[in-house]
């Protein structure tokens, strides 16, 4: 299934014929070679394949924690996922573990490990509410307090300094054999069109959100010299679909990835309406991303507990591939498989061995559209 080489999707003249902007590269003009290569190769690969991702895949699973080489996805499908999602909540306070109990030292090691096998790394950050002292879900918020001139701005800058140190510490052996910084797709302040986070639509004006995003990018890129990041803007699909997606959009010069967080939810998780709705959302997302020369991605999705034994091939796969445009997303990230014993209940989005949908997930993996880690072409070499 894997390609032997990747070429850029379109020349300038081809882009003009399709209404798509010519691809120049990531928004950071000083992006590392590997980060630029990842951007260009994901843009190209999205024309023919969708990478499968999973949150916290190497850290724990339904019935294990921290076992070397373990992965619920690999146990069922025979390959690690092509995309690894990680979470930074807790880093702002310089904690040892993140909000899900993953040690940051181990996370760094797993990030380097995944990169070494050629996979993609994406990071979210459910940072605490600096204004109130609560967590990310504390919506007694004042975003302006952390913007330049705000009472908490200096503290926010310190949080960004800690993230900059984390990103600049992700070093591994690159394609040429020399040490390089691991490219990371950074997805901060996500699901802005909802209201469950302190940066959400009901708690921050669109102008304040844009100011927050732009300051974050400018500070990391221009002041801290972090050049191994691609920036992912990822609102959530709500009842209005994509109607509110662009309300808080920071601008083309501040975004590399147009993402969508959209989950299937009972009681209609696998019905035709849910599949058609997601397919329509993805069509809009891809069309918009391609018009801006951005990478489109389904940045969070899944069906909690997956009680439908054929959900992968009867719901998720048709939602992705049924539309000839909507299928051109670069990746789909499943949310995490919490450890049952530690959490005290089931909370998972990928199957594990013996789970009802495991056999169907293996069929899902064999579809020519889908790519897992062992199927990947070289993503960190510049295309010729």
What is the average per-residue pLDDT within 245-268? Answer: 92
Give the β-pairing of 60-61 and 370-371. unpaired
Tell me what pLDDT residue 16 has. Answer: 39
Neighbours of 368 (CB within 10 A): 10
CA neighbours within 13 Å on the CB side: how many for 23?
Answer: 25
Tell me what pLDDT residue 384 has. Answer: 85
Q: Which pLDDT band holds residue 5 (cuts at 50, 70, 90)?
A: very low
Assigned token pair, 128: 């605490």
Over residues 196-242, the pLDDT tens digits come to: 999 999 999 999 999 999 999 999 999 999 999 999 999 997 655 57
Over residues 158-171, the pLDDT tens digits come to: 999 999 999 999 99
pTM, entire model: 0.94
Measured CA to CA in angstroms, residue 22 lies from 8, 13, 35, 47, 251 at distances of: 10, 8, 18, 15, 17
Cβ-proximal residues to 265 (8 Å cutoff; 6+ apart), any chain: 303, 304
Query: What is the spatial distance between Cα 185 and Cα 192, in angstroms, rounded to a whole number?
Result: 18
Q: Which helix (H) or strand (E) holds 65?
A: strand 64-65
Neighbours of 207 (CB within 10 A): 11
Closest CA to 279 of 241, 333, 236: 241
Contact 306, 355 (CB under 8 A): yes
Give percent of the chain above pLDDT 90.
86
Contact 295, 256 (CB under 8 A): yes
- Strand partners for 121: 84
Active site residues: 191, 300
* Residue 184: alpha-carbon gap to chain centroid: 10
Give percent of the chain above pLDDT 70.
92
Query: What is the spatial distance between Cα 166 and Cα 157, in angstroms, rounded to a whole number?
Result: 14
Backbone angles phi, psi at 258, to 5 degrees: -100, 110
Over residues 94-127, the pLDDT tens digits come to: 999 999 999 999 999 999 999 999 999 999 999 9
Query: What is the spatial distance between Cα 262 and Cα 301, in angstroms, rounded to a whole number?
Result: 5
pLDDT over threshold 60, residue 289: yes
Closest CA to 182 of 169, 195, 192, 164: 169
């Amino acid at each position: 299934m894997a390609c032997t080489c990747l070429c850029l999707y379109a020349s300038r003249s081809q882009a003009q014929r399709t209404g798509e902007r010519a691809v120049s590269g990531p928004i950071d003009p000083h992006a590392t070679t590997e980060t630029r290569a990842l951007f260009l190769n994901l843009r190209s690969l999205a024309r023919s394949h969708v990478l499968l991702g999973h949150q916290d895949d190497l850290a724990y699973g339904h019935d294990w924690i921290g076992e070397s080489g373990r992965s619920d996805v690999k146990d069922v499908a025979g390959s690690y996922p092509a995309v690894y999602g990680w979470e930074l909540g807790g880093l702002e306070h310089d904690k040892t573990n993140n909000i899900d109990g993953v040690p940051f030292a181990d996370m760094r090691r797993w990030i380097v490990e995944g990169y070494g096998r050629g996979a993609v790394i994406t990071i979210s950050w459910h940072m605490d509410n600096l204004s109130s002292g609560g967590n990310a879900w504390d919506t007694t918020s004042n975003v302006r307090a952390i913007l330049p001139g705000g009472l908490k701005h200096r503290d926010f800058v310190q949080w960004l300094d800690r993230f900059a140190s984390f990103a600049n510490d992700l070093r591994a052996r690159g394609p040429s054999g020399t040490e390089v910084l691991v490219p990371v797709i950074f997805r901060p302040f996500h699901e802005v069109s909802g209201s469950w986070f302190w940066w959400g639509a009901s708690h921050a004006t669109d102008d304040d959100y844009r100011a927050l995003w732009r300051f974050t990018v400018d500070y990391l890129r221009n002041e801290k010299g972090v050049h191994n990041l691609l920036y992912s803007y990822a609102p959530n699909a709500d009842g209005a679909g994509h109607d509110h997606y662009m309300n808080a959009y920071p601008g083309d010069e501040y975004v590399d990835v147009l993402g969508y967080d959209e989950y299937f939810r009972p009681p209609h998780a696998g019905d035709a309406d849910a599949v058609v709705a997601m397919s329509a959302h993805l069509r809009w997302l891809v069309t918009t991303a391609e018009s801006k020369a951005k990478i489109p991605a389904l940045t969070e999705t899944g069906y909690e507990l997956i009680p439908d034994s054929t959900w992968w091939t009867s719901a998720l796969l048709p939602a992705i591939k049924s539309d000839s445009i909507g299928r051109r997303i670069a990746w789909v990230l499943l949310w995490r498989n919490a450890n049952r014993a530690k959490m005290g209940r089931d909370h998972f989005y990928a199957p594990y061995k013996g789970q009802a949908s495991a056999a169907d997930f293996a069929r899902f993996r064999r579809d020519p559209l889908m790519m897992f880690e062992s199927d990947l072409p070289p993503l960190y070499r510049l295309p010729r």
